Amino acid sequence: MLRGTNAHRASALGAGIALAVGLGIAAPGSAQDGSSLRIGIVTFLSGGAAGPFGVPARNAAELMVSALNEGSVPAPYDSKGIAGATIEPIIIDEAGGTQTQVSEYRNLVERQNVDLVIGYISSGDCQAVAPVVEELKRLTVFFDCGTPQIFEETVTDPQYLFRTGPTATMDSVGAARYLLEVAPDTESFAGINQNYAWGQDSWNDFVAAMKVLKPEVEVVGEQFPKLYAGQYGAEISALLTSGADAVHSSFWGGDLEGFVFQAAARGLFQRSKVVLTTGETAMFRLGAQMPDGSIIGARGPHGVFAPDSPLNDWFRQQYFDRYGTWPTYPSYKMAQAILGVKTAYEKAAGAGGALPSQEEVIAAFEGLEYEAPSGTVKMAIGNGHQAIQGVTYGIYSYDRDSGQPSLTDVRSYQAECVNPPDAVKSLDWINSGFEGASC
Amino acid sequence: MLTAVAIVVDGAVFAAWLFIVSVGLTLIYGVMRILNIAHGSLYALGAYTAAWLVGAYFAQGYPPLAGYLLLPAAALLVGVVAGLAIERGVLRLMYGRDEVIMVLVTYAIFLVLEDVIKLIWGVDPYFAYQPYGLLGTVDVLGLPYPIYDLATIALAIVIGAVVWWGLNRTRVGKLLIAVIHDREMSMAVGIDVTRLFAVTFVLGAVLAALGGAVSAPKISVVPGIGVEVIVLAFAVVVIGGLGSVGGAMIGAVIVGFARAAAVHLLPEAELFVIYAIMAAVLVVRPYGLFAKPEARRI
């Protein structure tokens, strides 16, 4: 009787796998104050995306909220709070998978009764939450996730959903343009991307853009390992044997860092030009371990690529003083989302200053143009709900004497050069030969 | 030709890693009939401890080669401390319960340990890359492979041999085999099953932590790495037959080579191939390749 039966064994295994697949963690806030603006903020606080993305974004949210509430952000954001209301953030962990996030979102809107939600790093979470946003009719701003499918497939006529961070199309088109400018003799390329919306969309857009920019270029390999796979030995062998002149990867977080360790040890970076579209988030941590000559991006003109401006200088210094490290792109994108919300609210409030209705805010948000630490953000596509921005790439090198990473051959592409016009799907736009692009 | 060689080497490297990370799981199940979900956390604890020790060690500029000893040291430390704490503190009180209950118990331990890891090390990644590059690479038909990866194959063979020897040639091993075959009869003839359980669990925990420790130099040690490992380790031990050490080895080899072949020849199928094999094996042999069906006791 001590021994398990086969039925037990099978059910134990089933239960084990089911349990192993999902973890859900929730940390709802509680305070209630009528004069304040309650903002649900969703970002990874646990799991593999927390260190490189979630926590830098949370830090930026806390910094911006307290600075805005004090009124200490430089002009034009120097008025206190948002349209006079004190911001009350309710920060939620994005970990746990799409089902958990949909429940958490419903909880934020229906039980916590937040005025709006800013959040979501994972493209998978964005895809799951997007239809629920329109169903529950609560203003929601996606700040980071990159899949262009959000306004092209998932919610084609958005009313309540906005995204202040540009799509993966911008990264991929910019990466292709940059690669062919700095290495015009590229004849073949391969890719290694995570097997979900972000990785697939990034790769598809990159391939399409390369084919348009240089039709004779050849795709010699594509790898789609599982998200968080960690072990890339066989994939790296396949990339090495492919003989590709260039390798594209939209890997991020621990996957990116593990891939860099394993690929660098095997000389992939010497054999091929490697383009890492999110490389900026890892450059300070990896330091000398990030091979010289890597092409790295920051998903927009963020972080080290951000233009000089009083707002950017203030943001970088404040962030450094508070957290002891420089802000990377997730921090910039969170700040950008919060400033977008402030601009929309205050535009809607007008001179009167009373807190506007949700409908007024939405009307003001559509098509909005505003300044963020990384420059101008234009809500130009997706019926005025999707931001476009320029993108910048550079070549990484590490100075062993000073112990500082640096970037050379930095080139920027303006928003209209790397994003489709309104009402044109990304892939159609690329395949049309970037019709209407202004570079 | 190059592709065929790459498949063999990549397959062997991945199979070795799979065996190292799954042998502890199957050992514990074989002896204790506990499907240990906390295996993933022990792996993660091993990886974090190794990364932390290696980071501190290399920051001091000590002789690099001695740094490799930190990997088994980390595994031993985690396995003994966490393994004993889990077995003596929780599992001991639960023996004799249904297998499903034990899954829930170890899942609870897994959740607690995930938060313990976050409490100790936070969410920022830890790196221990030094041991990975230090040994250099060897060229196999012009394809460079880190010697560290090839050493992992040797380590897997050594672990397999030691576990086999320990089970078949030592007194404790023979007692364990007796317990695996018939727990009640073993108790009846006076084997101290409870003590053997503690020994087995600690051993399984050391092996789980060793999996994490030897993985640490090639990955970014981040929260959540344990989850991925449990799922893969499950697939491997289910293919081989739950509780069979030889089965885990065969399961690892099958999965390792199948995945490497898929990556090189049919990358779209990479994700699918492991579970396709698992499903195919379970259709033909519902108990896995090496486990025997058990009669239902009433």
Please provide the size of chain A in residues. Answer: 439
Residue A14 covered by a domain: no
Residues A301 and A182 in one domain: yes
Instruction: Note the pLDDT of residue B271.
Output: 84
Q: Please, which residues 38-97 of chain B have a Cβ atom closer than 8 Å to chain A?
A: 40, 96
Domain count, chain A: 2
What are the angstrom distances between the C-alpha of B214 and each of A47, A149, B40, B68, B73? Answer: 21, 39, 14, 9, 11
Q: What is the pLDDT of residues B178-196, one digit of tens each?
A: 888 888 899 999 999 989 9
Give the angle A318-A324-A330 at the CA atoms, nearest 5°.
70
Q: What is the pLDDT of residues A32-58, one digit of tens each?
A: 344 899 999 999 998 888 988 999 999
Instruction: Tell me the sheet residues that pair with A223.
Output: A192
Residue whose token pair is 């506990």: B34
Which percentage of chain A shows pLDDT scores above 70? 92
Residues A124 and A62 in one domain: yes
Residues A293 and A327 in one domain: no
B150, B220, B228: best to mutate for the A interface, most A CBs within 10 A:
B220
**Which domains, and CATH codes, for chain B?**
2-284 (1.10.3470)
What are the angstrom distances between the C-alpha of A5 and each of A373, A391, B194, B233, B293? Answer: 62, 60, 21, 22, 9
Q: For position A146, which CATH number holds?
A: 3.40.50.2300
Q: Return d(Cα A413, Cα A439) in angstroms, integer.
A: 7
Residues A240 and A333 in one domain: no
B103, B143, B294: best to mutate for the A interface, most A CBs within 10 A:
B103
Rounded mean pLDDT, A262-267:
96
Local confidence band at A21 (pLDDT 50, 70, 90 cut-offs): very low
Q: Which residues of chain B have pLDDT under 50?
A: none
* ipTM metric: 0.94
Q: What is the pLDDT of residues A246-258, one digit of tens each?
A: 999 999 989 999 9
Residues A235 and A266 in one domain: yes
A235 interfaces chain B, CB cutoff of 8 Å:
yes
Residues A201 and A236 in one domain: yes
Q: Please, which residues 265-304 of chain A have a Cβ atom closer than 8 Å to chain B?
A: 265-267, 285-286, 289
Query: What values do phi and psi take at B202, rounded to 5?
Result: -65, -40
Residues A356 and A266 in one domain: no
Residue A278 covered by a domain: yes
Residues A186 and A265 in one domain: yes
Residue A21 covered by a domain: no
Instruction: Note the pLDDT of residue B95.
Output: 87
Residue A5 covered by a domain: no
Q: How many C-beta atoms surround the C-beta of residue B176 within 10 A?
A: 25
> Going along A321-403, which residue ranges are E strands?
369-372, 375-381, 386-388, 391-399
**Interface contact flag, A241 B238, Cβ < 8 Å:** no
Q: Return d(Cα A123, Cα A117) in angstroms, integer.
A: 16
Q: A24-28, A370-374, A431-435: which range is least confident on average?
A: A24-28
Residues A146 and A175 in one domain: no
Query: What single DSSP character describes residue A85?
Result: B
Residue A153 covered by a domain: yes
User: Can you spell out the DSSP letters for B31-63?
Assistant: HH----TTHHHHHHHHHHHHHHHHHHHHHTT--
Residues A415 and A287 in one domain: yes
Give residue A348's domain range.
Answer: 36-167+306-388
Q: What is the pLDDT of residues B66-92, one digit of tens each?
A: 999 999 999 999 999 999 999 999 999
Residue A59 covered by a domain: yes
Residues A59 and A119 in one domain: yes
**In chain B, which residues have their Cβ closer than 8 Å to the Cβ of A5?**
294, 296-297
Region of A44 (left: φ > 0; alpha: ψ -120 to 50; beta: rest) is beta
Residue A222 covered by a domain: yes
Min Cα separation A249/chain B (Å): 15
How far is CA A294 from its chain centroid?
Answer: 20
Closest-CA residue in chain B for A262? B218
Q: Which of A58, A72, A161 is nearest to A117 (CA)?
A: A161
CB A401, CB A341: distance < 8 Å: no
Report whether pLDDT(A243) > 50.
yes
Residues A256 and A364 in one domain: no
Residue A133 covered by a domain: yes
